[in-house]
Amino acid sequence: MQKEKEIQQLVDSLEGYLHQKTKGDLHYSDLSKIFKRIIRLDEERFSEYIKRMPTHILGDILETFNERMLKESLHALSLKKMIGTIKKMDSDDATDLLQDIEELDEELAESILDGLDNKEQEEIQRLKGYEEDEAGAYMQIEFFAANHNETVRETIENLRKLKYSEELENITSVFVIGDYNNLVATVQLEDMLLFDFDKSFKEIISKRPEKYKPRYVNDKEEIEKVVIDFKEYDLQVIPVIDADNYLVGRITADDIYDLLQEMATEQIYNMAGLDEETEKEKNVIEIIKKRGRWLFINLWTAILASFVISRFEGTISAIPTLAVLMPIVASMGGNGGTQTLAVMVRQLALGEIDETNWSYQMTKEVIVASVNGVIFALFIGGITYLWVRDIRMAIIIAIAMVINLIVAGVSGGMIPIILKKFKIDPAVGSSVILTTITDVIGFFAFLGLAEMFILN
């Protein structure tokens, strides 16, 4: 009953949208949310309404779907409808969606591509040609440009025509191009509104060329750099040019929102031993493999630590309390080091510190590690004494704790910087190196001191 009611509600919203009653209210994100709820309740209704969605919004909805929902949708939709949908999408989104479809059904992707006209095919092929980390892979080729000889009035007329014929959205700036399709200026609409509409851009720009000097990126530039530019210069859009200085596309704020989140997810995943791309694809076998690879490395570092312990088997056999206490030193080292590591990795990623100015941060980290090392040495010394009533044991664990927490601080700070120097992403692998060090040093310091001062 409850379920029927929920379905009815969702269906009502969709019907409302289809009959234009709520057209202004429902964004593709809202429709996507409705479909995500419907598929859990009633697959048939899901297919029925996916088929009825108009092409101009269907592509945006499909792009938000996970693998299962996309599969279901492709099953329901005709080839003709899919071709129409792709045609209506922005070039960058169309390319992304086609790539998602390709992963599910290569033949279908091929057929859709064949259904597009030559120009559209070329555009998509060009965008697909960019590497994943290149700016070009994130640009859309739909933008609004004006020739510098045009008057503002002519440009506004062109905009009017373009807006009626195409789905060109989010125009905040006009890109002004010269005689060779080269970018000569960027004019924000808020400035253009105040221009004399009968003058040409050339005339207007020549009066204050520095104000309209365009900030741009090259299509082969690293996308991470572009993201940093958006942030530093508070941009809303940036034009993309190719090696010949031709204006070829633009990257907009909404791309940057996605990229910022993706970059953060990637960093969090890397630090935890996960591969972002694999996790996203949701193929369980691949996930098991990639995660397993990481666990495999960890297995060997754990065995290395065991090997260190095995050197002290005789000592442990004589004083089994050592086995009880030894994980404490290693564990605290791992945690303390992880704190420093996280700060360094993140600050490096944000550009707050780099290879030239890390020493200030490093000094701070060593101070923090040393002070906490001493504090926790006193703590654990006291607790150990109260627990096992052995002053030598208490002193030894305290000394091992100071050593390991300082080693942890120094390692946690230096590992990311060293990796960065070798052009390795500091988020990848740094934590496994760190815990190897803190485990080995932790066990070695504690058991070694015990062997020296208690056993003999």
Q: Kindly state whether residue 41 participates in binding a second copy, applying the rule CB under 8 A.
A: no
Q: How far is the CB of 206 from a second copy (least distance, A)?
A: 13
Q: Kindly state whether residue 302 participates in binding a second copy, applying the rule CB under 8 A.
A: yes
From the list 151, 186, 338, 411, which residue makes contact with a second copy (rule: CB under 8 A)?
338
Tokens of 310: 């095995």
From the list 82, 343, 403, 414, which residue makes contact with a second copy (rule: CB under 8 A)?
343
Interhelix angle for 321-350 vs 391-421, to 10°? 30
In contact, 334 and 406? CB cutoff 8 Å: no
Closest CB to a second copy among residues 77, 349: 349
Per CB under 8 A, the segment of 50-58, 103-111, 129-137, 164-172 that binds a second copy is: 164-172
Q: How far is the CB of 118 from a second copy (least distance, A)?
A: 29
# chain residues binding a second copy, by CB under 8 A: 105
Q: How far is the CB of 79 from a second copy (least distance, A)?
A: 28
C-alpha 415/C-alpha 413 separation (Å) is 6
Q: How far is the CB of 115 from a second copy (least distance, A)?
A: 27
Q: Kindly state whether residue 303 participates in binding a second copy, applying the rule CB under 8 A.
A: yes
Q: Kindly state whether residue 316 participates in binding a second copy, applying the rule CB under 8 A.
A: yes
From the list 52, 75, 128, 211, which residue makes contact with a second copy (rule: CB under 8 A)?
211
Backbone angles phi, psi at 247, to 5 degrees: -75, 120
Closest CB to a second copy among residues 59, 109: 59
Residues 168-197 that bind a second copy (CB under 8 A): 170-172, 189-190, 192-194
Beta bridge partners of 185: 176
From the list 11, 323, 418, 454, which residue makes contact with a second copy (rule: CB under 8 A)?
323
Question: Count H helices, E strands: the chain?
Answer: 22, 6
Q: Kindly state whether residue 299 participates in binding a second copy, applying the rule CB under 8 A.
A: yes
C-alpha 290/C-alpha 337 separation (Å) is 25
Residues 403-442 that bind a second copy (CB under 8 A): 435, 439
Element (H, E) at 250: strand 247-252
Contacts within 8 Å (CB) and 24+ apart, 180-183: 180/245, 180/246, 181/246, 181/247, 182/241, 182/245, 182/246, 182/247, 183/214, 183/216, 183/239, 183/241, 183/245, 183/247
Residues 231-270 that bind a second copy (CB under 8 A): 231-236, 253-254, 256-258, 260-261, 263-265, 267-269
CA-only gyration radius of the chain, Å: 30
* Distant-in-sequence, close-in-space partners of 340: CB < 8 Å, separation ≥ 6: 365, 368, 369, 408, 409, 412, 413
Q: Kindly state whether residue 210 participates in binding a second copy, applying the rule CB under 8 A.
A: yes
Q: Residue 106: how many CA atoms within 13 Å on its side-chain side? A: 0
In contact, 417 and 426? CB cutoff 8 Å: yes
Quickly list H helices, 239-283. 253-271, 276-281
Residues 360-379 that bind a second copy (CB under 8 A): 364, 367-368, 371-372, 375-376, 379
Q: How far is the CB of 305 from a second copy (least distance, A)?
A: 6
Closest CB to a second copy among residues 113, 399: 399
DSSP type of residue 454: I
Closest CB to a second copy among residues 322, 414: 322
Q: How far is the CB of 351 from a second copy (least distance, A)?
A: 10
Instruction: Name the E strands within 96-207.
Output: 145-147, 173-177, 183-188
Closest CB to a second copy among residues 103, 254: 254
From the list 291, 385, 418, 425, which residue makes contact with a second copy (rule: CB under 8 A)?
291
Residues 104-163 that bind a second copy (CB under 8 A): 156, 159-160, 163
Q: How far is the CB of 114 from a second copy (least distance, A)?
A: 30
Helix (H, G, I), strand (E, B) or coil at 238: strand
Q: Kindly state whether residue 455 participates in binding a second copy, applying the rule CB under 8 A.
A: no
DSSP type of residue 182: B
Q: How far is the CB of 129 from a second copy (least distance, A)?
A: 25
Per CB under 8 A, the segment of 72-80, 107-115, 296-304, 416-424 that binds a second copy is: 296-304
